[in-house]
Chain A
Amino acid sequence: MSALGHLIEEEGIATVAIALVRPQAERTRPPRALWVPFELGRPFGPPSDPAFQTGVIRAALGLLESGAGPVLLTDFPADDPRETPDPGWRPPIEAGAYRDGEAEALADAVQAELWELASAYAASCTARGRSTVGLSTLAPAACGEYVAAWLRGTSTGNAPPSPVPDLSPILCLRFAIDDLKAYALEAALAGGGSPSSRQLGDWLWNETATGAAIHELRRRLVAGEDERAKQIAGMFLVPALRLAG
């Protein structure tokens, strides 16, 4: 973040910011910044491409040796090759067909899908040596149970109690949904290939029970009476790009 560059440099340490949104860097004017043309979420470009990532880092750190400031903003010249879809990539399970409004059926389907994805998720974790599932602190199956309980509860207006002592029900739902998205998307990496983020997102949001269930929960909670649930569901469950209209 460009603002942190100002503050840390004022304290006597040289900084270089990676800028994803060029007009922001132009206006914030950090001491040094490298604008990169990559999508949001990928400041160092493509995953699993160490040479490309190293090129970005060297370009950024190189600005620390430039005497051309204060205020130095340069552009990284190459695009992220992983923004191009991989026609050979295949999702880990067949596409499902889910209808809006059927919360009970989606509650069952989202839990069943977790098991369908389990071997792909395990293989993916082994291949990558890691997982990013864990914000809720619940196991994936427990995340599925909790999301299913919310789907069923929205029919009666009752939020299920949070299984995590430190989290309110709606906050636990938010983190459980973050974990379910990560679980499915990590499973989708098991088949290899080089899918773009758009390909992976199209699969999650258009073809899986997980995506359909999250959409359904958002619709129900946004239409409900609980203002806090409305706010969290409205902002933190479905990306703006995936909202119809």
Chain B
Amino acid sequence: MRLDRLPPAQAERYGALECPDFTTTPWVEGPPLAARRIAIVSSAGLVRRGERPFRGREADYRVIPATTPANELLCSHISINFDRTGFQEDWNVVFPLDRLNELVAMGAIGSVAANHYSFMGATDPAEMENAAREVAGNLRRDGVDGVILPPV
């Protein structure tokens, strides 16, 4: 988002949003992309149709199997102040599973994870820590060695 194109007061609010203060700088390397297994961990509050939507700033997560059809994925993020029409037209705007599968077919990445994950991005990150570490364990067991983290 280009803050310089927003009204000044709005740009200032986004620029001043509270952020967690991490003391560590973790850094993990890995094989070339063509050999990596990639997962999406979204903070868009995505749920599968019929699943309990996120109702507030909840710290848990939802599992999105790679076999999930596009028609089964809904966005339950509590904020209404972001565009949803992009996701409505094309789920890859938020959850680019088709694009990742194409990259596998091209040989640009090794494989796509069996499961992807979604959190509610408006939640305090400190409250999400246990769930995030649990998701990391699930990803490790799936052989994932590269994660892309899209917000909304």
Contacts and interface: CB of A to CB of B under 8 A. Distances in A.
Interface in B74-105: 74-76, 78, 80-94, 96, 98-100, 102-103
Contacts of A171: 55
B50 A137 contact: yes
Interface of A: 1-24, 27-31, 37-48, 50, 53-54, 57-58, 60-62, 64-65, 67, 69-71, 79, 82, 128-132, 134-135, 137, 166, 171, 175, 178, 181-182, 185-186, 189, 195, 197, 200-201, 235-241
Nearest to A175: B53
B81 A240 contact: yes
- Which residue, of A23, A42, A53, A166, has the highest number of chain B Cβ atoms within 10 A? A42
Contact of B139 (A8, A71, A82, A200): A8
B63 interface: no
Contacts of A42: 83, 86, 93-94
Contact of A8 (B2, B41, B82): B41
Nearest to A194: B89
Given A28-B20, A69-B27, A130-B71, 20 more contacts: A9-B27, A11-B133, A11-B137, A18-B150, A21-B3, A31-B25, A40-B81, A43-B94, A44-B93, A46-B93, A47-B89, A50-B98, A57-B148, A62-B33, A70-B27, A134-B49, A137-B50, A181-B84, A197-B85, A238-B80
B11 to A, nearest CB: 10
A5 B20 CA distance: 12
B118 to A, nearest CB: 11
B19 A24 contact: yes
- Which residue, of A57, A129, A195, has the highest number of chain B Cβ atoms within 10 A? A57
Contacts of B135: 8
Given A4-B132, A17-B149, A44-B99, A135 B17 contact: no
9 contacts: A4-B128, A28-B19, A40-B83, A41-B85, A42-B94, A44-B99, A47-B85, A135-B47, A166-B52
Given A37-B1, A132-B75, A61 B20 contact: no
A207 to B, nearest CB: 15
A65 B133 contact: no
B152 A23 contact: no
A78 B75 CA distance: 26
Contacts of A241: 81
Given A12-B28, A12-B140, A44 B150 contact: yes
B93 A130 contact: no
